[in-house]
Amino acid sequence: MAVYTEVSDHDLRAFLDQYELGEVTSFKGIAEGVENSNYLLRTTEGSFILTLYEKRVRRADLPYFLGLMEHLAEQGISCPVPLRGRDGEALREICGRPAAVITFLDGLWPRRVLPEHCRLLGEAMARMHLAGSSFALRRENDLSMRGWRPLFESCAARADEVKPGLAEALEQELSILEKAWPERLPEGVIHADLFPDNVFFLGGRLSGIIDFYFACNDFFAYDLAICLNAWCFENEITFNVTKARLLLNAYRKVRPFSDNELEALPLLARGSALRFLLTRLYDWLHHPPGAFVEPKNPMEYWHKLRFHQEVRGPGAYGLD
Cβ 289 to a second copy, closest distance in Å?
4
Which helix (H) or strand (E) segment is 233 a member of? strand 233-234
Question: For 301, left (φ over 0), alpha (ψ -120 to 50), or beta?
Answer: alpha
Cβ 51 to a second copy, closest distance in Å?
13
**31 makes contact with a second copy (CB under 8 A):** yes
Amino acid in the structure at residue 283: D
CB 273 within 8 A of CB 229: yes
**205 makes contact with a second copy (CB under 8 A):** no
Nearer to a second copy, 8 or 172 (CB): 8
14, 20, 22, 28: which one binds a second copy (CB under 8 A): 28
**111 makes contact with a second copy (CB under 8 A):** yes
Burial class (CB in 10 A: 0-12, 13-18, 19+), 251: buried
d(C-alpha 41, C-alpha 28), whole Å:
7
CB 197 within 8 A of CB 227: no
Cβ 66 to a second copy, closest distance in Å?
21
d(C-alpha 13, C-alpha 119), whole Å:
43
Cβ 27 to a second copy, closest distance in Å?
5
d(C-alpha 319, C-alpha 69), whole Å:
32
d(C-alpha 152, C-alpha 170), whole Å:
8
Binding segment for a second copy (CB under 8 A), chosen from 5-13, 132-140, 227-235, 271-279, is 5-13
**9 makes contact with a second copy (CB under 8 A):** yes
CB 35 within 8 A of CB 57: yes
Cβ 11 to a second copy, closest distance in Å?
8
**32 makes contact with a second copy (CB under 8 A):** yes
Cβ 16 to a second copy, closest distance in Å?
12
27, 181, 195, 282: which one binds a second copy (CB under 8 A): 27
CB 87 within 8 A of CB 15: no
d(C-alpha 99, C-alpha 93), whole Å:
5
Cβ 48 to a second copy, closest distance in Å?
13
17, 106, 168, 178: which one binds a second copy (CB under 8 A): 106
Q: What separation, in Å, do the N-terminal and C-terminal C-alpha atoms of the chain show?
A: 40
Cβ 103 to a second copy, closest distance in Å?
13
251 to 290, contacts with a second copy by CB under 8 A?
287, 289-290
CB 18 within 8 A of CB 38: no
**182 makes contact with a second copy (CB under 8 A):** no
Residues 6 or more apart in contact with residue 3 via CB below 8 angstroms? 29, 30, 31, 37, 38, 39
Contact characters 289-318, a second copy, x per CB under 8 A: xxxxxxx-----------------------
Binding segment for a second copy (CB under 8 A), chosen from 107-115, 120-128, 135-143, 155-163, is 107-115
How many residues of this chain bind a second copy (CB under 8 A)? 38
Q: Which residues form the interface with a second copy (CB under 8 A)?
A: 1-3, 6-10, 12, 23-32, 40, 42, 104, 106-108, 110-112, 202-203, 287, 289-295
